Structure 1
Amino acid sequence: MSGPSESARDAAGPPASGRGRLGRWRDQTAALGWLVVVWNLLWGDVNWANAAGGVLVGGAVLAFFPLPAVSFAGRLRLRGLLVFAARFAVELVSASLHVARIAVQPGYRPRGAIIAVRLRVPTDLNLALTAEAVSLVPGTLILEVDRDSGTLYLHVLDTHGPADLGAARERTRTVERRIIRAVGSGVELRRVETDESERGTSP
């Protein structure tokens, strides 16, 4: 009885290894693409020179500073990606105008605060994507990421009370929800949607 079982395992070995290599290449390609996008956003201009520079810098980062393996178990959803991109652009412009108003308003001293936001999908990929998306919006800065508990610690600019702190936490969870709707797995999407229905908030 042990012979057939061992033969079956031996026969299944090479395909699994191939899928593992394919998965690693896919993850590396996705990581490089995201680094190129972040590089262009940091420069504030999308052109061929910045794209080429992003490929070089991203390749160097992945080669010399390898990150822990982060698998992608979700799937791309075009509608979710478009909604995320549109809402992100609107929030980017709105937050930029708000920070600019604070900078030029005479005698105004904004109060900052540090808050903790525990994400509903504590995977490495979701932590990284949510942290990047939140930190790219002016007025919010990621200070620390607790990988074990799936918690982001943020510095938020211009807060006046508990209502503003609650709004900042909700904005972060909204960004997470949009990311999951764009690239999350079915299980992750159900987890986010179930949590929202229990909280009674609109998507």
Structure 2
Amino acid sequence: MSGGADVEPAGPRLRHQVPLVAWLVLVWILLWGTWSWANLLSGLAVAVVVMLLLPLPPVVGSTRVRPLSLLRYLGTFLTDVVVSGAQVAWRAIGPGGVQQGAIVRVQLRADSDLLLTMVAETISLVPGSLVLDLDREERLISVHLLHVTDLADVERQKRDVLATEDRIVRAFGSAADIAALDTGDGA
């Protein structure tokens, strides 16, 4: 290849593809509803064809899963989903309804495409918040908040976005990503 493009060697590339193949085979078996050798082999064939016809771009940068930080992230995420879901349900059926929403922009500190995507997905999966835009170059995320009470609540929810980023980076980020959290000002 010309132009100095970095090409990942076959060994690491295959290592990154195995989990995707396993996931596609699992989804195939779940779609059929029963486990059999025929479903396993046909799922494997479909997964290989999908990966050959629709290759994913390589993920740049390294990630490392830290189990304790991952548990902290997952626990907080699940708690946020349940609590926010109850709050949104109450706003939908309660007497007050939604009084005031807001769109906020938060300066993130992570610089990895994977980490930024995980932050955006996590925020969007929590009821009551939705990512409207993620400016990759500026690392600026715009979030719609369903309900805010005052400016102090807006600031608290912006800090919650940064706390989500912090948990994700500490669970999946490289040492350099974690160092950027500690030195970044992200307001």
Does the Cα contact within 8 Å between 1:23 and 1:71 map onto a contact in 2?
Answer: no
* Aligned-partner Cα distance in 1 for 2:146–2:49: 33
Q: Which amino acid aligns with 2:156?
A: A
Does the Cα contact within 8 Å between 2:106 and 2:161 map onto a contact in 1?
Answer: yes
The reply on whether 1:193 has 2:174 as its aligned counterpart is no
User: Structure 1 or 2: larger helix share?
Assistant: 1
Percent identity between matched residues is 32
Q: Which SS does the other structure have where 2:90 is aligned? A: helix
Which among 157, 172, 180 is matched to residue 168 of structure 1? 157
The reply on whether 1:111 has 2:92 as its aligned counterpart is no
Does the Cα contact within 8 Å between 1:114 and 1:155 map onto a contact in 2?
Answer: yes
Change (3 A) 1:191 1:132: same
- Stretches of structure 1 that go unaligned for 5 or more consecutive residues are 1-15, 41-47
Shift of residue 67, structure 1, vs aligned partner: 5.5
* Aligned-partner Cα distance in 1 for 2:104–2:53: 33
Shift of residue 65, structure 1, vs aligned partner: 6.4
* Aligned-partner Cα distance in 2 for 1:25–1:162: 50
Which among 111, 128, 147 is matched to residue 139 of structure 1? 128
Does the Cα contact within 8 Å between 1:122 and 1:149 map onto a contact in 2?
Answer: no
Does the Cα contact within 8 Å between 1:99 and 1:139 map onto a contact in 2?
Answer: yes
Q: Which SS does the other structure have where 2:167 is aligned? A: helix
* Aligned-partner Cα distance in 1 for 2:49–2:139: 28
The reply on whether 1:49 has 2:30 as its aligned counterpart is yes
Shift of residue 74, structure 1, vs aligned partner: 2.6
Shift of residue 70, structure 1, vs aligned partner: 2.2
Shift of residue 60, structure 1, vs aligned partner: 9.3
* Aligned-partner Cα distance in 2 for 1:65–1:167: 41
Question: How much is the aligned-residue C-alpha RMSD, in angstroms?
Answer: 3.5
Aligned length: 167
Does the Cα contact within 8 Å between 1:110 and 1:157 map onto a contact in 2?
Answer: no
Q: Greater shift after overlay, 20-29 or 69-78?
A: 20-29
TM score, norm. by length of structure 1: 0.68
Partner of 1:150: 139
Higher RCO by CA contacts (8 Å cutoff, separation 6 or greater): 2
